[in-house]
Amino acid sequence: MSGIVIGNTLRTSWKQILYWGLGLGALGLYIDFIASSPDIISGYAELFKTMPPAMLKAFGASDVALFTTSEGWIVSIFVSEAAIFLSVFAVMAGLNITANDEQSGVMDVILSLPISRAAYILERWIGYALIGLAIILLTAAITVGGMVGMNIEAPSDVVFASILNLYPSVLLVMTVTSLLATVMRRRVVAIGLSAAFVIVSYLFNAIGAAAGGAAADLMERLSYFSYVHGEAFVLGTYDPANTVLVLLAVAIGFGLSLRMFVSRDIGI
């Protein structure tokens, strides 16, 4: 592995980092702004008290008390919304790993160069994984910077860690999309199935969290959204095993994707 493809991927995608990071950072600043006003927070808290628990879950919190603190507000609302936006980025990144170049025909030129298919897909994956990390770090820096700038009394490390906790889910969606693209070969099918994966995950999380019973618990556990809840950092209940589980799924997904890409015909 020479790192040339990683370098090229980063060089050609720095605008993505900037735009996504600034966009999500702006969302973070907006959430910060609301959190800086105790009146608004208490108003929302009153509103949330009237909501059924299922709807509350959709906002990323299991307890309405979480919304009465600045960090609880930022982490619950922002992380839930950022998770959805980052899923969109992750699907696009997953397509960029191989599918877009294969569909356009550029892959024929690339794979006629002295680089193995395995090295190419690995470097592309690492490149987009680094881009995802850079976007999340930029987002977290802007959001936490906004907190400091607006004199919000909230632990920066908790907010930073809860935003950083989005990263494994980004890797998961990106890898699932890449796997679907290498298996299905057709970009449009991969997009459809990846979107379905994100939507079904979201619904499983919402329904699973709202309903009771073993089946609902299973649905929630099957959704990657259930592993990115920021409230665990506020409540001090974060379990690293959940992150390890997601990363394990990423490793398996990438292994399958690599195996498929190396063994099949290109561009048919």
Identify the residue among 26, 34, 115, 207 touching another protein (CB under 8 A): 115
CA–chain centroid gap for 221, Å, is 16
| Interface region with another protein, contact rule CB under 8 A, candidates 2-10, 21-29, 194-202, 238-246 | 2-10
In whole angstroms, how close is the CB of 124 to another protein at the nearest point? 13
Give the amino acid at 260: M
Binding of residue 2 to another protein (CB under 8 A):
yes
Residue 262 interacting with another protein (CB under 8 A): no
CB of 267 vs another protein, minimal distance in Å: 7
Select 1 or 244, whichever has its Cβ closest to another protein.
Answer: 1
Stretch that binds another protein, among 3-11, 143-151, 225-233, 242-250 (CB under 8 A): 3-11
Count of residues in the chain: 268
259 binds another protein (CB under 8 A): no
By CB under 8 A, is residue 214 in contact with another protein? Answer: no
39, 50, 52, 113: residue in contact with another protein (rule CB under 8 A): 113
Q: Should residue 8 be labelled a site residue for another protein when binding is judged by CB under 8 A? A: yes
Report whether 258 contacts 123 (CB < 8 A).
no
108 touches another protein by CB under 8 A: yes
**Residue 14 lies near another protein (rule: CB under 8 A):** no
**Span near another protein by CB under 8 A; candidates 42-50, 60-68, 107-115, 138-146:** 107-115
CB of 135 vs another protein, minimal distance in Å = 20
Helix (H, G, I), strand (E, B) or coil at 107: helix
For residues 123-162, one letter each, b for 16 or more C-beta atoms within 10 angstroms of the residue's C-beta and e for the rest, the string is bbbbbbbebbebbbbbbbebbbebbeeeebebeeebbbbb
Smallest separation (angstroms) from another protein to the CB of 103: 9
Sequence-distant (6+) residues with CB within 8 A of 114 are: none
For 37: left if phi > 0, alpha if psi spans -120 to 50, otherwise beta; the answer is: beta
**Can you tell me the distance from the alpha carbon of 124 to that of 116, in angstroms, rounded to the nearest whole number?**
12
* C-beta separation of 50 from 44 below 8 A: no
Interacting residue with another protein among 1, 4, 222, 244 (CB under 8 A): 4
Contact 67, 61 (CB under 8 A): yes
Q: How far is the CB of 191 from another protein (least distance, A)?
A: 20
Question: Residue 238's Cα: distance from chain center in Å?
Answer: 17
User: Which is nearer to another protein, 115 or 210 (by Cβ)?
Assistant: 115
Rounded to 10 deg, the angle between the 187-210 and 167-184 helix axes is 140
Judged by CB under 8 A, does residue 12 bind another protein? yes
CB of 266 to another protein, least distance (A): 5
User: How many whole angstroms separate alpha carbon 125 and alpha carbon 103?
Assistant: 18
Instruction: Kindly list the residues in this chain that would bind another protein in the complex (CB under 8 A).
Output: 2, 4-5, 8, 12, 104-106, 108-109, 111-116, 263-268
